[in-house]
Structure 1
Amino acid sequence: MAGKIKHLVNRSGRYHARLVVPKDLRKIVGKTELRTPLGGDYRQAVRLLPGAVAQLQHKIALAERQQTGSKVGVGVARYPLAPDQLALSHYMQRLAFDDVLRNDPRYAAVSIDDLLVERLRQAIAGKLNDSELQELVGEQIDRFRSLGNLTAERGSDEWRIIARALCSAELEALARAAERDEGDYSGRPTTPMLIDAQPPAPPQETVNLKKLWDDYKTSRTQAGFMRDGGKRQDPVIENLRKFLRHNDARRVTKKDLLAWRDHLMTSLSAKTVNDIYLSTVRSLLGWAHENERLPENVSTTVKQPKPRKVKSREKGYTDQEALTVLTASINYQPKPNQFGYVRETPRHTAAKRWAPIICAFTGARISEITQLRKEDVRQEGDRWIIRITPDAGTVKAGDYRDVPLHRQIVDLGFIDYVNAAGAGPLFHNATEPEKFATAASSVSDEISKWLRRSKVTPEGVQPNHGWRHRLKTKASELGIDARVIDAIQGHAGRTAGDNYGDVTVAAKTRAIDRLPWIAD
């Protein structure tokens, strides 16, 4: 049984060339498939098929160019063909065109140009220069380029190989035309390149990069990860799509990612490029490969080396530095503008007063404190406790934790502020839970900028993160159980054994009570 001919369909006794439009181009083309009628005769339809398919591919290539906003040929061929496949396509189209011409009576008076035959032979032998090759088959090469079959630049070795292959196909087509002039239509190509040429592989289905990212986020969220829904990494994928100028994940190559990495390095730090941008793409493409959405993960070895940081001091605040920062924080008063009005909201003012000292005695991440709500503060016996929970915004470890407040925080009046506050967030103005995390992060950044502007934070110390380092240092000095401090700060257990048993509020209270007051 004869195999089905690709792109050839029969509808109600009539033959058509048919090409499916890639999903990402259907809005531009306005159709899901393209067709060209080829008549009712099977043999004629087969002869006309290559040329018809080429024209349909040209329409799709133009649509892709419109999608990417490119005014020149795309950098990567959508339908790449090897030189022998290009030659075979040209040969078949020339024979089909010969059939059409023979319906015109004037064609009988046209003879084969012996000079053309000689020049084609010289081209095949490699005796012609680029200009001469361009004159012979330049238009054909440009046509294949516009169809998305090649990207070779004129004068390159690849371009010359293609040109010589097309000259060979043209010579073979002229030989068939001469045979047909004598009534012989049985001729077959004699050049091994045409005899052995494999038919083009069917175009692979595109993999929408944006949809792939959405599916990845859904998978990670369902598994309990990516609690922010991927909002932090969304700009990474959008940046990659903008750089690639297409949305097909299957077309992404290692070379593309290396070029993207080099482009990012012109404006971002090596750490940001490697740990956020490249890491996100490696995770996405790795997941896509594992789930058989992509044939391979081309990003596996694409990384950006990071220079080793030279440390000139400790990461956390010293006792004196801590005192300086907290003195400025507790005594903070917002400055009125030139008209005597204070534009800062009371909650933001409270954040600058209370968040630093709470971080100092809990070692919490700053956003975990700026997202606190009134209902997250409670009293048990004679102790006040805060609950750090993802319900209030986001928690990196994913689980809630209860942390007792140091007595200095209470004595300074924090509980009075909580009791006087309305329900909901203590340090930001968001009213919708889905916006809590973003609002808390914004306040955290504001605190950091204020501390730097006030010049109370020493060089080399992160204004907010320095408290986490300081608490670890103080706990080590005092001999406090590392597992208890990890539980207070929300750090994961260091060994499998740390997952057994619970660190109770009582144990945390004893640890926090051992921390000295920060005062003169």
Structure 2
Amino acid sequence: MAGRVRNLLNRDGRYFARLVIPKELRPYMEGKTELRTALGPDYRTALKALPGAVATLQHKIALGERRAVQAGERSITTGRYPLSPPQIAIRDYQAQLTFDEDIRANHHQYASFDVGYEEGRPFRDGYSGKLSDDQLELLVGDRIERYRTLGNHAAPKGSAEWRQIARALCVSSYEALARRGERNEGDFTGSPSHPVLTITQPAEDEREPVSLKGLLADYLNERAADGKGREARKRWSPVFANLSKFIGHDDARRLTKQNVLEWKDANLKVLASKTVSDVYLTSVRTVLKWAVNNDRLETNVAENVRIKVSKKQRSREQGFTTDEAVAILKLARDYQPKHSDNPRTREAPQTTAAKRWSPILCAHTGARIAEITQLRKQDFRYEKNIPVVRIAPDAGSVKAGNYRDVPLHQQLVDLGFMEFVDDAPDGPLFYPASKKKVGSLPARTVAGRVSEWLQAQKVIPEGVSPSHGWRHRFKTVGREVGIADRTLDAIQGHAGRTAGDAYGDVTIAAKASAIGQMPRYEY
């Protein structure tokens, strides 16, 4: 599938060039959050007009930045990273070729756009010296201003240096047009011929580095302000440490697409392709996209680095059969830990409780195992004589991010679970309480112990997850007895399938009625 073209927006069949305005500049740009330029309904025309439209929008943002500087609200040191006019031209030439490659890699129509003589004529006139300052400003003024805001020069319009930069940018544009025409014919070997680009040595990138780990921390802090990202912090931090170690530095500005490709291939040798795709590449792609949207980076080099993960072939149903479920539940109900006189080897009472109750709770609620092992005494209550458990993010981790109330099946009550809750001390039911804020780690550790124990007892069939097998079974049995999918989703914490599912609420009474339809396990 073709990738998304950066800065190109499609709204109801019409195309726009779009740039997000940095938050600190919005008061100086009439409070707007973004800028758009209409490019019309034709995709080919829009794609061809996009670079120029984006450049114009960048110029408007640069003017907003200038107003902010004049108001004393935004400090930028012009000329902080000085480049000569030829060095600016080299950077501009390389940026245009990179933009060309990104579009060409994702949209085959782009290669059919002709590059005509008249398209390059203004740039030839520009670098030959035929154009006035005003004409040069119309032609390349937006880019002159962009390199000024980057700190590469401080030349005022009309000065000799300003004209040198303008003429150099005309060279870079003309040469980039020539490469585009060559590439349309399948020739990617072309190189510039003008001495402005061939004689001058490119400047070293002297901009301050942008820490990869720092970007991750800032992204997660923004998510945390909205009450999200707790699991991402734990799972993604080792990923970014791994990436920094692999490339030998922590500077996101120096990260290249080739770096990401090589890192991906190296990890595929030691990790499952799904892990590399869903955790490693997804985390880097997400954070770099955030950095681009927040003007911390110019490009997301990981945007198009992906892995096609084949679905596993199944040889049986995903959930437990009735006989398999009964065997597990009987084992859990009758579980007794091995006796030990040594306190160091003796099983903690919370672990014993987890092995007994968590499989039974999973069977009757369809919840995830970590959602069960993180439960606390205060998460249970009675509502109109109905025992209810609240599965909430503040207890540890909830995948969907929202709380949900689940009425308890009468069989759980008959087994004495509510008496177990009443007799338990305040705090977590299945691991020792701690004053430290440790998130979901203890609950996941206990969940892992329960899974290992069940697998060691040889009651988990091959091809079925010890915990997710209950979620699949709960949904299957619920459908068999005629419970609506929306009600099952509300009980299990699954997202709705349509926009209409977000309207109205599935009440505790409705859930209790559904739970009451679920059959008892005979064991």
Distance in 1, matches of 2:345 and 2:303, equals: 52
Q: Which residue of 2 aligns with 1:91?
A: none
Q: Which residue of 2 aligns with 1:452?
A: 455
Is the 1:221–1:229 contact (alpha carbons within 8 Å) kept by the matching residues of 2? no
SS at match of 1:234: helix
Distance in 2, matches of 1:487 and 1:254, equals: 41
2:272 to 269, 272, 275: 269
Give the 5 Å matches for 1:362-441. Answer: 362-432=365-435, 434-441=437-444
Structure 2: 5+ residue stretches without partners: 1-80, 88-193
Q: Deviations over 1:257-291 (max 9, x none)?
A: 11111111111100001000011001011111121
With over 3 angstroms needed to count, the CA separation of the structure-2 counterparts of 1:412 and 1:296, relative to structure 1, is same
Distance in 1, matches of 2:233 and 2:499, equals: 29
Q: Which residue of 2 aligns with 1:240?
A: 243
Q: Does 1:489 align with 2:508?
A: no
Give the 5 Å matches for 1:278-289. Answer: 278-289=281-292
The one-letter amino acid paired with 1:488 is I
> By how many angstroms is 1:327 displaced?
0.6
SS at match of 2:448: helix
Q: Which residue of 1 aligns with 2:506?
A: 503
With over 3 angstroms needed to count, the CA separation of the structure-2 counterparts of 1:325 and 1:194, relative to structure 1, is closer
> By how many angstroms is 1:338 displaced?
8.3
Distance in 1, matches of 2:287 and 2:219, equals: 7
Distance in 2, matches of 1:202 and 1:465, equals: 50
With over 3 angstroms needed to count, the CA separation of the structure-2 counterparts of 1:195 and 1:354, relative to structure 1, is closer
SS at match of 1:294: coil
Distance in 2, matches of 1:344 and 1:465, equals: 25
With over 3 angstroms needed to count, the CA separation of the structure-2 counterparts of 1:229 and 1:292, relative to structure 1, is same
Distance in 1, matches of 2:509 and 2:352, equals: 32
Q: Which residue of 1 aligns with 2:320?
A: 317
With over 3 angstroms needed to count, the CA separation of the structure-2 counterparts of 1:204 and 1:464, relative to structure 1, is same
Give the 5 Å matches for 1:47-86. Answer: none
Distance in 1, matches of 2:198 and 2:401, equals: 63
Distance in 2, matches of 1:322 and 1:417, equals: 22
> By how many angstroms is 1:244 displaced?
1.0
The one-letter amino acid paired with 1:510 is S
Q: Which residue of 2 aligns with 1:358?
A: 361
> By how many angstroms is 1:247 displaced?
0.9
SS at match of 1:379: strand
Q: Which residue of 1 aligns with 2:339?
A: 336
What TM-score comes out, normalization by structure 1 length?
0.61
Distance in 2, matches of 1:480 and 1:257, equals: 47
SS at match of 1:231: helix
Distance in 2, matches of 1:375 and 1:362, equals: 18
Distance in 2, matches of 1:195 and 1:271, equals: 45
Q: Deviations over 1:409-468 (max 9, x none)?
A: 111111111111111111111323622511111111111111111111111100011111
The one-letter amino acid paired with 1:437 is S
With over 3 angstroms needed to count, the CA separation of the structure-2 counterparts of 1:267 and 1:192, relative to structure 1, is closer
SS at match of 1:300: coil
Q: Does 1:214 align with 2:217?
A: yes
Distance in 2, matches of 1:374 and 1:276, equals: 33
Distance in 1, matches of 2:228 and 2:197, equals: 55
- The 4+ residue runs of structure 1 with deviation greater than 4 A are 191-196, 337-342
Q: Which residue of 1 aligns with 2:234?
A: 231
Distance in 1, matches of 2:497 and 2:369, equals: 23
With over 3 angstroms needed to count, the CA separation of the structure-2 counterparts of 1:295 and 1:335, relative to structure 1, is same
Is the 1:392–1:433 contact (alpha carbons within 8 Å) kept by the matching residues of 2? no
Is the 1:430–1:439 contact (alpha carbons within 8 Å) kept by the matching residues of 2? no
> By how many angstroms is 1:398 displaced?
1.6
The one-letter amino acid paired with 1:294 is L
SS at match of 2:289: helix
Q: Which residue of 2 aligns with 1:295?
A: 298
Give the 5 Å matches for 1:252-263. Answer: 252-263=255-266
Distance in 2, matches of 1:235 and 1:492, equals: 29
Q: Which residue of 2 aligns with 1:308?
A: 311
Q: Which residue of 2 aligns with 1:463?
A: 466
> By how many angstroms is 1:295 displaced?
1.2
Is the 1:370–1:443 contact (alpha carbons within 8 Å) kept by the matching residues of 2? yes
Tell me how many residue pairs correspond in the alignment: 334
Distance in 2, matches of 1:227 and 1:514, equals: 35
The RMSD of aligned alpha carbons is 2.5
- Greater mean alpha carbon deviation, residues 300-309 or residues 357-366: 300-309
With over 3 angstroms needed to count, the CA separation of the structure-2 counterparts of 1:428 and 1:195, relative to structure 1, is closer
SS at match of 1:384: strand
> By how many angstroms is 1:378 displaced?
1.2
Is the 1:393–1:433 contact (alpha carbons within 8 Å) kept by the matching residues of 2? no
> By how many angstroms is 1:341 displaced?
8.0
Q: Deviations over 1:109-147 (max 9, x none)?
A: xxxxxxxxxxxxxxxxxxxxxxxxxxxxxxxxxxxxxxx
Is the 1:385–1:405 contact (alpha carbons within 8 Å) kept by the matching residues of 2? yes
> By how many angstroms is 1:201 displaced?
6.0
> By how many angstroms is 1:197 displaced?
2.8
Identity within the alignment, %: 51
Q: Which residue of 2 aligns with 1:443?
A: 446
Is the 1:326–1:356 contact (alpha carbons within 8 Å) kept by the matching residues of 2? yes
Is the 1:336–1:342 contact (alpha carbons within 8 Å) kept by the matching residues of 2? no
> By how many angstroms is 1:298 displaced?
0.7
> By how many angstroms is 1:229 displaced?
6.2
The one-letter amino acid paired with 2:333 is I
> By how many angstroms is 1:305 displaced?
2.2
Is the 1:371–1:436 contact (alpha carbons within 8 Å) kept by the matching residues of 2? no
Q: Does 1:475 align with 2:478?
A: yes
With over 3 angstroms needed to count, the CA separation of the structure-2 counterparts of 1:207 and 1:339, relative to structure 1, is closer
Distance in 2, matches of 1:202 and 1:244, equals: 17
Q: Which residue of 2 aligns with 1:183?
A: none
